[in-house]
């Protein structure tokens, strides 16, 4: 343990499972109510299949945890109407980031990309619905994410709606997730430096995870100093997530992962394990976890328990 003050002690005294269960219930209910509404039958089915009943929902939980942390610093406390608008904004942001994540998986699994047939223990969308429908479902899910963020609902300030769209579009686009996937695509079979690998993952998975944290914070006008700290937290957790993903790809089996294990090595993709070795990669994940806790301590936010526990969960998960 470093001498820096961190928040790693918080997680052990706090019930992440209970907190997650409550919020996952809200997210699942909302996604189930919203996704595919008004879509032609076949497309709506594919969209719902891609999103519902699966996934860890890490990104929505990060949104809601960051929202709670930001809310804990609000003075004066929001009145009931402001609070109801902020809660609704956070729930919509939580669902929107999950839609972006879900669409990226649908497209990523397609034959022209990773050509994967198993995802979350089920046939992938293109296997189930055909490639054309999978392509369209992914496209429609991305559009729907932005529709969710911009309801005709006066409780959610226009500036919050616009900020959330800005953050999500940036995290999802060519300077974020899609850009990272393009680098990934171009780097198969190449030997990357650790810096190049970090840059790829900072975009490919890190941008949306970090974006989730910042979007949650934006729903409750977080103070500027705390915003910078949350960005550091998001960056550390985002990178840790990918390092652990690479580790799990080597040490876990397909049944536990719910997707094809050993895939990265088989397709000759550079990973943290292939670059650093297994033990150093595990050590690196631990360092990133410490950085995340240190950032939370530096944020000055009164209640960062959910964020602290989620960081632990990201690094200690088995799938």
Q: Which of 14, 24, 116, 146 touches a copy of itself (CB under 8 A)?
A: 146
Paired with 118 in beta bridges are: 123
Q: Which of 8, 20, 181, 232 touches a copy of itself (CB under 8 A)?
A: 181
Q: Which of 9, 17, 33, 42 touches a copy of itself (CB under 8 A)?
A: 42
**38 lies in the site for a copy of itself, by CB under 8 A:** yes
Q: Which of 56, 72, 155, 173 touches a copy of itself (CB under 8 A)?
A: 173
259 backbone dihedrals φ, ψ, rounded to 5°: -145, 175
Q: Which of 51, 93, 125, 136 touches a copy of itself (CB under 8 A)?
A: 136
Token pair of 104, please? Answer: 């990226």
Total of chain residues touching a copy of itself, rule CB under 8 A: 56
Q: What is d(CA 306, CA 294) in angstroms, rounded to the nearest whole number?
A: 15
Q: Which residues of 99-130 are buried (b: 16+ CB within 10 A; e: fewer)?
A: bbbbbbbbbbbbeeebebebbeeeebbbbebe
**40 lies in the site for a copy of itself, by CB under 8 A:** yes
User: Mask of contacts with a copy of itself, 261-300, x by CB under 8 A?
Assistant: ----------------------------------------
Our CB check for a copy of itself shows the closer of 183 and 252 to be 183
At which residue do the structure tokens 């929202």 appear?
67
DSSP string, 227-258: HHHHHHHHHHHHHHHHHHHHHHHHHS-HHHHT
Least distance (Å) between residue 91 CB and a copy of itself: 17
Q: Of the ranges 21-29, 153-161, 225-233, 254-262, which one interacts with a copy of itself (CB under 8 A)?
A: 153-161
DSSP string, 102-166: HHHHHHHTSTTTT---EETTEE-HHHHH-HHHHHHHHHHHHHHHHHHHS-S-TTS-HHHHHHHHH
**206 lies in the site for a copy of itself, by CB under 8 A:** no
Paired with 122 in beta bridges are: 119
* Contact footprint for a copy of itself (CB under 8 A): 36, 38-40, 42-44, 47, 103-104, 107, 110, 112-113, 130-133, 135-136, 138-140, 142-147, 149-152, 157-159, 161-163, 165-166, 168-170, 172-176, 178-179, 181-183, 185-186
């Amino acid at each position: 343990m470093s001498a820096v003050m961190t928040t790693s002690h918080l997680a052990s005294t706090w019930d992440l499972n209970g907190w997650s269960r409550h919020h996952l219930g809200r997210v699942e209910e909302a996604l189930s109510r919203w996704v595919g509404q008004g879509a032609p039958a076949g497309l709506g089915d594919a969209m719902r299949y891609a999103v519902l009943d699966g996934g860890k929902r890490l990104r929505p939980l990060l949104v809601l945890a960051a929202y709670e942390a930001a809310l804990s610093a609000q003075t004066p406390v929001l009145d009931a109407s402001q609070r109801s608008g902020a809660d609704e904004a956070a729930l919509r942001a939580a669902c929107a980031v999950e839609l972006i994540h879900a669409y990226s998986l649908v497209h990523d699994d397609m034959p022209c990309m990773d050509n994967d047939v198993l995802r979350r223990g089920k046939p992938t969308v293109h296997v189930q619905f055909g490639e054309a429908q999978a392509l369209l479902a992914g496209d429609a899910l991305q559009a729907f994410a932005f529709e969710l963020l911009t309801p005709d609902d006066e409780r959610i300030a226009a500036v919050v709606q616009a900020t959330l769209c800005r953050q999500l579009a940036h995290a999802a686009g060519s300077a974020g997730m899609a850009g990272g996937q393009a680098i990934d695509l171009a780097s198969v079979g190449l030997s990357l430096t650790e810096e190049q690998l970090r840059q790829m993952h900072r975009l490919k998975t890190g941008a949306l995870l970090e974006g989730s944290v910042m979007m949650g914070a934006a729903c409750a006008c977080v103070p500027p100093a705390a915003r910078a700290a949350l960005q550091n937290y998001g960056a550390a957790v985002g990178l840790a997530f990918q390092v652990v993903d690479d580790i799990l790809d080597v040490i876990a089996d397909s049944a536990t992962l719910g997707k094809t294990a050993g895939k990265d090595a088989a397709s000759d993709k550079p990973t943290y394990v292939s670059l650093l070795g297994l033990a150093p990669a595990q050590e690196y994940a631990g360092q990133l976890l410490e950085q995340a806790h240190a950032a939370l301590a530096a944020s000055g936010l009164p209640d960062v328990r959910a964020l602290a526990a989620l960081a632990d969960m990201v690094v200690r998960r088995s799938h």
